[in-house]
Structure 1
């Protein structure tokens, strides 16, 4: 069996000839080869070198970390911006939502020692910020780019599969991107109603994306 056949057999509930060996080597690969990786833009082409390295070491591929297989749009009254800036000579990326309710922004800064983008600024610190977040995220619409998915899938071939990621749930966004564990925990006690409304609105929007992904190749 090929690596792809083994992985798919597990999803079908069958037993492969051996346990599938599949790894996400992206972060390690970027560090080893001193390659930049940019969270501000999606990758619209397959990461050929990364896939080739998986093939070289015999590790199944599955995770196109920054692969773009659909577009995300916002209503006309919402502006979603991603921009780069320098903080004390160090690259920093800012994500900003501007809505009729106001604006919020979060930031991540490059950390050479960990070869990663550490959080330098949380984006939500008040009830109003949370409402702005909900307004922006609940208004998203999606459109497929299945041709991009096919490019990745064809290049990976029998080496594995190409996951179609729907990203984080509402709580995932809050915990990992916009508020952090501490502020989210406080919000669950101080403003539980607003937090619940936000989570339900954003997750309902996420289901639109799930419906789209279910129609994918």
Structure 2
């Protein structure tokens, strides 16, 4: 059975010969490649060859969506130190500034595009002018490149509140604005969601079978009152559309989870990606698996278990417990992904453990 077959059969709830293992090596590989610290074994390999050598599957390999504008433009300029993105509209231009880490593979936003209430109208105009289309050419190229290693799946624009927090405004200012200017912010959130209608029409009509709500949920950013008010209704509406079109869905929840555990069973998505138990997250593995309520778990191994200073036996124990508690509703992976100082041979160890379970 190929990884592609395992992935699709797992989502459909059909038997597989063993659990699919998708550790997400991209950040580790690119950092090591950029800094000249790839282990000798991988020095001449590309990323997909490294996946093959380690015996694991690929989850993400591209997003075949193209954004177009009639009266606006999105301009991106940058160098090794950072990137400036300009949202150009007839009403004015908004600017986002991102600075890269020294190695060029990490980044942080130093200036959000929305800094005042007046900026909201400009962003609303930009979003109203934006169109999205699905690129069949890019999709076919991704599928060909993946082969049997995986299935073309991807995450798309964050839902409205998380887009404010992560992309447009920043967490602190978003909270202040929700408190101080509730009516204006409610209108803005509703506008973002309306502008996403075209995106979801495109996703529903596409041949992609698995889609990820890449909202990077953390209970300290969206505690239960905010989550229930702003997140759940959108998830319910959008998943109803996607599921009616035959799509499988999952949501990226890689932050603190304990306050949100009682709400996991209410999520309409079929699966949850990157939930992180102790010692890295804030929940016991057992209580996390109980709260999943039959949903598919993607990942589940805290990435700290791949650091050289953590005992290998802890990693082995974690894998064994995940297989016991969550299989077959499991696509095993690292929550969220292996970090640059991680020991890549521990990825091979997990591959060998999974292979040993073949029945």
Query: Shared fold by TM > 0.5?
Result: yes
1:100 to 90, 104, 107: 90
- 1:216 and 2:206 matched: yes
Give the 3 Å change call, closer, same or farther, for CA 135–16 of structure 1 in structure 2: same
1:59 has 2:53 as partner:
no
2:261 corresponds in structure 1 to none
The correspondence of residues 111-150 of structure 1 with structure 2, limited to 5 A, is 111-112=101-102, 115-150=105-140
Inter-CA distance 79–148: structure 2 relative to 1 (3 Å threshold): closer
What is the root-mean-square deviation of aligned Cα atoms in Å?
2.1
Q: CA deviation at 1:68?
A: 4.5
Contact 2:94 2:114 in 1 (8 A): yes
Structure 1 unaligned spans of 5+? 36-47
Note the alpha carbon deviations across 1:132-186, whole angstroms, 9 max, x for none: 1122123211222111111111121111112133222222322112211101111
1:210 deviation in Å? 1.9
CA distance in 1, matches of 2:17, 2:199: 35
Mapping for residues 1-217 of structure 1, pairs under 5 Å: 1-34=1-34, 49-64=46-61, 67-76=62-71, 78-84=72-78, 91-112=81-102, 115-217=105-207
Inter-CA distance 6–68: structure 2 relative to 1 (3 Å threshold): closer
Structure 1 runs (4+) deviating above 4 angstroms are none
TM-score of the two chains, using structure 1 as the length reference: 0.82
Contact 1:54 1:60 in 2 (8 A): yes
Superimposed CA distance per residue, residues 107-141 of structure 1 (whole angstroms, 9 cap, x where no aligned partner): 11111268302212122121111221122123211
Report which of the two structures shows the higher radius of gyration computed on alpha carbons: 2
User: Are residues 27 and 9 of structure 1, via their aligned partners in 2, closer, same or farther at CA, if it must alter by over 3 Å?
Assistant: same
Q: Distance in 2 between matches of 1:72 and 1:118?
A: 23
Unaligned runs of 5+ in 2: 36-44, 208-359
Q: Is the contact made by 1:131 and 1:194 (CA closer than 8 Å) also made in structure 2?
A: no
The offset of 1:101, in angstroms, is 2.8
